[in-house]
Amino acid sequence: MVSYKELGLVNTRDMFSRAINGGYAIPAFNFNNMEQLQAIIKASSDLKSPVILQVSKGARNYANPTLLRYMAQGAVAYAKELGCKHPEIVLHLDHGDSFELCKNCVDLGFSSVMIDGSSLPYDENVALTKKVVEYAHQFDVTVEGELGVLAGVEDEVASEVSHYTKPEEVIDFTTKTGVDSLAISIGTSHGAYKFKPEQCTRDPKTGRLVPPPLAFDVLDEIMKKLPGFPIVLHGSSSVPQEYVDIINANGGKLPDAVGIPEEQLRKASKSAVCKINIDSDSRLAFTAAVRKTLAEKPAEFDPRKYCGPARDLMEVMYKHKIIDVLGSDNKLAQLD
Ligand code: G3H
Ligand code: 13P
Ligand code: ZN
């Protein structure tokens, strides 16, 4: 059993309450490899932003759970080396799908876990979430639950259509389970194809797809029921068209990829939404830089020569999210 406190990590409680009161959101960036982690820590440390490092079940399988935990521990040391004396870094399990997986992460030194029972019948979601909360809270590990179903793939759970969170359920769910934050469904979805072309209109000037707006009326209803309660948005990549264009111009094939417009995420960040999940944009930045570098330098075979530019582009993207979308720069509790 390792306590996250020994690793220099923090849970989400304090940073979420500051984010809600301050009208900004904390970035939750997924990582699977060293370059993503380096870019996340460089961006958040340079900008003095609290940050949530998210590890999915797929990331654990890809990188090895123990190694990921030590990488997060290394991230704290790296942030300090970069001049951030008091970093606030959360190591969070993304889309935990069983009590055993959540327990394993708590025992390994994670400071926060998500139990995603959103695809279960309501009563089973409540029971599973409550069980995880009871275990995690013994160690001051915070827990995120989910109500409502996002379209797209949530690890092994795939849904064709989204079901918005029902505002009439949120009080009962949060009271019975004791969760610290609640992921909701208001029209976001995972991946780089968040909307089908038939759900969108087309900008006549650019020919680009323009997605339908998020259901801010549902968010408002939820906030009325749960004043001041931390809300989480999954599936919040914007799928920057510049990265999609670079990928497509260099041998890739991502037709009609579309994400959540940034102005909608900016609006959400000012509300009780205090955690915004971004994974796909990092994948797109990485892939764009690798494809471009290899297309321009076909003789290159040193991975540092194409993973380096990928890391740089991800850092630019993370910094843009922190400053221009979520507003979490200069929000560490101790800035000196
Ligand atoms: O919510 C899904 C995250 O983007 C993680 O994706 O399960 O492919 O690692 P993954
Ligand atoms: P995106 O696919 O929009 O980046 O969402 C990531 C996410 O929600 C991780 O849990
Ligand atoms: Zn998610």
pLDDT of residue 160: 59
pLDDT in tens, 129-141: 999 999 999 999 9
DSSP assignment of 263-330, as one string?
HHHHHHHTTTEEEEEE-HHHHHHHHHHHHHHHHH-TT---HHHHHHHHHHHHHHHHHHIIIIII--TT
CA of 193 to the centre of ligand 1 (A): 14
Q: Is the pLDDT of residue 154 over 60?
A: no
**Catalytic site includes residue 281:** no
Domains in the chain: boundaries: 4-326
Beta strand 201-202 with 209-210 is: antiparallel
Cross-strand bridge partners of residue 78: none
Q: Find the helix packing angle between 65-81 and 34-46, rounded to 10°.
A: 30
Q: Which atom of ligand 2 is nearest to the CA of 114?
A: 10
CA of 296 to the centre of ligand 2 (A): 30
Nearest to 168 by CA among 222, 227, 217: 222
CA-to-CA separations, 153 to 59, 149, 156, 194, in angstroms, rounded? 15, 10, 7, 10
CA distance 275 to 20: 10
In this structure, the residues whose C-beta lies within 6 A of any atom of ligand 1 are: 30, 56, 58-59, 94-95, 154-155, 190, 279
pLDDT of residue 250: 98
CB atoms near residue 44 (< 10 Å): 30
Q: Is the pLDDT of residue 1 over 70?
A: yes
pLDDT of residue 207: 86
Minimal-distance CA residue to ligand 1 atom 9: 58
pLDDT in tens, 87-101: 999 999 999 999 999
pLDDT in tens, 37-88: 999 999 999 999 999 999 999 999 999 999 999 999 999 999 999 999 999 9
CB atoms near residue 324 (< 10 Å): 12
- Closest ligand by atom to 56 CA: 1
Q: What is the pTM of this model?
A: 0.96
HEC letters along 143-200: EEEEECECEEEECCEEECCCECCCHHHHHHHHHHHCCCEEEECCCCECCCECCCHHHC
pLDDT in tens, 216-228: 999 999 999 999 9
pLDDT of residue 206: 86
Q: Which atom of ligand 2 is nearest to the CA of 281?
A: 4
- Please answer whether residues 130 and 175 qualify as being in contact, where contact means their C-beta atoms are separated by less than 8 angstroms: no
Return binding residues for Zn(2+): 95, 116, 146, 190, 234
Q: Which amino acid is located at 14 in the chain?
A: D
Q: Which amino acid is located at 146 in the chain?
A: E
Per-residue pLDDT, averaged over 263-275, amounts to: 98
pLDDT of residue 237: 98
- Give 316 or 205, the one with higher predicted confidence: 316
CA distance 276 to 257: 20
Q: Which residues surround ligand 3, an ion (CB under 5 A)?
A: 234
CA 261, 19, 235, 320 dihedral sign is: positive
Q: To the nearest whole percent, how much of the chain has pLDDT over 90? A: 92
- The length of the chain is 336
| Residue of 26, 239, 280, 314 with the most ligand 2 atoms within 8 Å of its CB, for mutation | 280
pLDDT in tens, 286-308: 999 999 999 999 999 999 999 99
CA distance 124 to 73: 34
Q: Is the pLDDT of residue 159 over 70?
A: no
| Per-residue pLDDT band at 155 (split at 50, 70, 90) | very low
Contacts of residue 58, defined as CB under 8 A and 6 or more positions apart, other chains included, come to 32, 155
Q: Is the domain defined by 4-326 classed in CATH 3.10.20.90? A: no
Per-residue pLDDT, averaged over 191-207, amounts to: 91
Distance of CA 124 to the CA centre of its chain: 25
CA of 30 to the centre of ligand 2 (A): 8
- Closest ligand by atom to 191 CA: 2
- The single residue of 94, 97, 180, 281 carrying the catalytic annotation is 94
